[in-house]
Amino acid sequence: MIAGRDSEPTTTGGHAYVPRSFFDRPVLDVAPDLLGRILVRTTPGSRMQLRITEVEAYAGEADPGSHAYRGKTARNASMFGPPGHAYVYFIYGMWWSLNLVCGPEGQASGVLLRGGEVIQGEEEARQRRPKARRDTELAKGPARLATALAVDRTLNGADLCTRDETAPLSLLAGQPGPSTAIRSGPRTGVGGDGAHHPWRFWLDGDPTVSPYRPHKPRHRKPGLDATQVTT
DNA sequence: CGTGTGATTAACT
DNA sequence: GTTAATCACACGT
């Protein structure tokens, strides 16, 4: 392996990982290409593998559904960094979500990992997700996926394309194409101007794909009515 | 639980 | 008059 080149797969511990050029493409090319691929999660105590079955593309500052829509902030800064890194955010005061930053750099685009099949490390996943009734539920949904893989803010900005053997996240190279058809549709919970884009991608019929939840229009919480003010 | 947002207040020229 | 700092709150790709 030639140091300094990223056109060749990187190798760590005998496994080949996708090079940064995999992520340095338009997000709508990368997102469906992630389906069926193996995400490797390495912790000090374990090595897990997840077969990705469901993703959503977020197309940067031009996409009303994206965290990057209103420009760079402290939270979304990693989306504005180079491709091949993780963007991890906290949501609902409870859960983490894992995104993979795509190129080209400066567009702040990323792919949200929404579902997958745990194919290695089921024990660890089950310890973290004791309520999962079936193995297909271990990483079915973005928050479940993050929980199963022990994703938290310490992974925000993590580089998937490093040769470091202790790299927390990587993506296996040389995977065969998806065994089932790729389907696409509107993104879960995205409304407004970004609602109609079919930027959610999943493997048809896979039991680890989360159920589609249409965008729920939010209405403003009613303020105090004058008639309610009695004294 | 954090974040972004709009409203409100303060600071400054 | 304009901009910056502060506050409160709705809502969560």
- How many residues would you count in chain A? 231
Domain count, chain A: 1
Type of residue numbered A90: F
- pLDDT for the residue A96: 96
Query: Could you give the CA distance from residue A147 to residue A129 in angstroms, rounded to a whole number?
Result: 7
Establish if A228 belongs to a structural domain.
no
Establish if A7 belongs to a structural domain.
no
Q: What are the tens digits of pLDDT across the range A131-185?
A: 999 999 999 999 999 999 999 999 999 999 999 989 999 999 987 777 899 999 9
- pLDDT for the residue A205: 96
- Dihedral of CA A142/A163/A43/A50: which sign? positive
Q: Tens of pLDDT along chain A (231 residues)? A: 444 445 678 776 667 999 999 999 999 999 999 999 999 999 998 999 999 999 999 999 889 899 999 888 889 999 999 999 999 999 988 999 999 999 998 799 999 999 999 999 999 999 999 999 999 999 999 999 999 999 999 999 999 999 998 999 999 998 777 789 999 999 998 988 888 999 999 999 999 999 998 887 764 444 333 333 333
CB A56 under 7 Å to nucleic chain C: yes
- pLDDT for the residue A218: 60
A1, A46, A90, A93 from A215: Cα distances, Å: 47, 37, 20, 20
Which bases of chain C are under 7 A from a protein CB atom?
9-13
CB A74 under 7 Å to nucleic chain B: yes
Q: How far is CA A128 from the centre of its chain?
A: 18
Establish if A216 belongs to a structural domain.
no
CA A225 / C1′ B11 distance in Å = 35
Establish if A220 belongs to a structural domain.
no
Residue A70's CATH number: 3.10.300.10
- pLDDT for the residue A191: 84
Establish if A201 belongs to a structural domain.
yes
CB A87 under 7 Å to nucleic chain C: yes
CA A117 / C1′ C7 distance in Å = 45
Nearest nucleotide over every DNA/RNA strand to the A89 CA, judged by C1':
B2
Range of the domain at A34: 22-207
Looking at A98-161, list the stretches that DSSP marks H as alpha helix, in order from N- to C-terminal side: 122-128, 142-148
Type of residue numbered A156: N
Return the SS3 of A28.
helix
- pLDDT for the residue A81: 93
Establish if A32 belongs to a structural domain.
yes
CB A219 under 7 Å to nucleic chain C: yes
